[in-house]
């Protein structure tokens, strides 16, 4: 996704004249033909090739220094991200002629909405293929022989992601200690009952359910601005419902 984002941002900046190193696509000049007939390249076609070239040099720089499996995986997935932007390039045209008769067309290429690329990569993420390094260390093959070999359009991964829903046994018990690995899980986390986003009880609690407790807390209220220049508030008691995710054992999970 980062690789796709760099392609999109740089390409858009080129078209808007914000970078001295690039302009509109210089290859889109002269006359051409498509299924609708002849047209002239005009306007400002997005210079997607420059955006891809820049992203490849910028994002892949760190990975090219390594020869391990993770670097190989990241280089592959970065290419998939760049291609996800180019896939949604579309041709837009403007008609010229009497009463819009379109006797002459001027066309240019433009990137699609970035959300389309994001949605595509999300689908590819959900269908990512687990792989292992081949014997000579120059590529990879599928970890499970029942699956097809990944193509240049598939996202790949080497290790299963940790389950952040439950506590990792390897995580430390002292919260002030910094850890590189492990998860404390979501048990006891405050969630939003009315939300449908990532902070919702349905998502955050991972289907374990949640407990509700009514608490009274002190809040600032009846705040007034006094000239000049202070805001003075009263202290008020407010009763609210707080929802916290159940632990696995409380939800009946083994």
What are the two backbone dihedrals, phi and then psi, of residue 176, each rounded to the nearest 5 degrees? -90, 0
- In the chain, which ranges are continuous DSSP H helix? 2-15, 48-59, 61-64, 69-86, 114-126, 201-204
Cα-to-chain-centroid distance, residue 50: 22
Q: What is the pLDDT of residues 68-78, one digit of tens each?
A: 888 899 999 99
User: Taking residues 182-207, what's their average pLDDT?
Assistant: 88
- In 60-183, which ranges are continuous DSSP H helix? 61-64, 69-86, 114-126
* Range in 39-43, 93-97, 127-131, 134-138 with the lowest mean pLDDT: 134-138
Q: What is the pLDDT of residue 19?
A: 93
Between CA 79 and CA 114 the distance in angstroms is: 16
User: Taking residues 189-216, what's their average pLDDT?
Assistant: 92
Q: Is 105 helix (H, G, I), strand (E, B) or coil?
A: strand
- The pTM score is 0.68
- Give the pLDDT band (50/70/90) at residue 183: confident
Q: Which two tokens stand for residue 130?
A: 């687990």
Of 163 and 192, more confident: 192
Q: Is the pLDDT of residue 48 over 50?
A: yes
């Amino acid at each position: 996704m980062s690789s796709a984002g760099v392609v999109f941002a740089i390409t858009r900046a080129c078209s808007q004249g914000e970078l001295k190193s690039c302009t509109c696509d210089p290859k889109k000049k002269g006359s051409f033909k498509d299924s609708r007939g002849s047209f002239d390249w005009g306007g400002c076609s997005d210079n997607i090739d420059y955006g891809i070239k820049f992203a490849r040099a910028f994002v892949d720089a760190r990975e090219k220094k390594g020869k391990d499996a993770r670097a190989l995986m990241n280089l592959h997935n970065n290419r998939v991200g760049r291609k996800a932007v180019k896939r949604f390039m579309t041709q837009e045209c403007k008609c010229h002629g009497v009463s819009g008769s379109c006797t002459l067309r001027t066309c240019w290429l433009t990137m699609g909405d970035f959300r389309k690329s994001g949605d595509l990569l999300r689908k590819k993420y959900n269908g990512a293929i687990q792989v292992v390094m081949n014997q000579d260390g120059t590529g990879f093959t599928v970890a499970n022989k029942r699956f097809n070999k990944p193509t240049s359009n598939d996202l790949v991964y080497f290790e299963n992601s940790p389950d952040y829903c439950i506590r990792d046994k390897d995580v430390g018990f002292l919260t002030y200690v910094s850890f590189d690995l492990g998860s404390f899980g979501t048990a006891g986390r405050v969630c939003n009952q009315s939300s449908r986003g990532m902070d919702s009880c349905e998502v955050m609690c991972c289907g374990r359910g949640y407990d509700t407790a009514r608490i009274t807390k002190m809040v600032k209220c009846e705040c007034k601005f006094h000239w000049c220049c202070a805001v003075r508030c009263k202290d008020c008691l407010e009763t609210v419902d707080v929802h916290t995710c159940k632990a696995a054992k409380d939800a009946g999970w083994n």
